Chains A and B, each alone.
Chain A
Amino acid sequence: MNMETGKTDKAIAAAIAALPYRSPSAGFRAGVMAAIAAQAAARERLGWALKAAGAMTAGWAALVGLAASGPLAAFLADYAPLALEPGGLGQALRLLGARAALAAGRLPETFGFLGDLAGLLPGLPPVYEIGAAMLATAAVIRAIGAPARAEQKI
């Protein structure tokens, strides 16, 4: 590097170092803080939603457990003494198979009932359709008409 190059490099460095900082508009800081607050609130809402979903799932699991405990106890009371006898396990399994076959035999009946139920739907009075349409329309209007937040710009 010769002296002339060194001097020019220093002059360039000094000129760039002396460049002034510019300031953004007055609302800049407020805009950033509003966006951050919106983001934090959204994160908090998500946390609450997850907690609510967790609580609901746990509640449903407890309810199902409670409802199933009676039949389960009855099932155990029926089969446990039989299974504990010598050679009773095979007998208990055969009994279970027979009950399963009986339940499978009832399936067409169940499907027939569901089919009948579905067949009733077109015959429902129009007032239900009007009610459903009103609810759907109200939901769409609410979704479209909700005011957009300024902080959502970013």
Chain B
Amino acid sequence: MGETEKELLGRCLAGDNAAFGGLVDAYQDRLYSFALRLLKDPAAAEEAAQAAFVKAFRALPSYNTAQPFAPWLFRITHNACMDALRAGGRTVSMDHEDFPDLPDRAPAMDDSLADALDGERIEALLASLPPIYSEALLLQYREDMGPADIARVMGVPEGTVKARLFRGRELIKARLRVAGATI
């Protein structure tokens, strides 16, 4: 049976650098996928995930073991991705919210549209959203984090996270409706 995350962290904090390899194994796919879905570029995502692991290793002595590890690690990855987006000339709304145009009264959605939400389609829909919405949705549904942890990762208040989740879902629905209307 492999070591638990807590055991690996304990060994890392005790100065065993090799134990960090176990944490890399446990999180590399999650962090890389998260970065890839935000940056939409495999090379940039790999670089951001690698930088996040190295920064996490350096910052490990300051990690509070009473807090869950995953949000702390995702917070570092979030920062690495935001740096990459800024370096690539993309503007990332951090201080204020973008208010995308949403219809006031949405027409009823065909059930078949929701049923047809397969992996490929949701991947494309997430990629079409501004990063602040896709990130919140990914952290909640793919990484199973609550609003408090997402707020810690994104560095915004919990209320903002809830608003982003709501708007993200509404944007997806609006795009599904448009897609349904054009079919």
Contacts and interface: CB of A to CB of B under 8 A. Distances in A.
Given A19-B122, A23-B29, A23-B32, A12 B117 contact: yes
Contact of B57 (A7, A8, A20, A36): A36
A154 B117 contact: no
A109 interface: no
Nearest to A40: B17
B34 to A, nearest CB: 9
A36 B20 contact: yes
Interface residues of B, number: 43
A32 interface: yes
A19 B117 contact: no
Contacts, number: 100
Contacts of A40: 17
A13 interface: yes
A30 to B, nearest CB: 10
Contact of A28 (B49, B172, B173): B49
Interface string B104-140: 0000110100110111011100100000000001101
Contacts of B51: 154
B142 A17 contact: yes
A106 interface: no
Interface of A: 4, 7-9, 11-25, 28-29, 31-33, 35-37, 39-40, 154
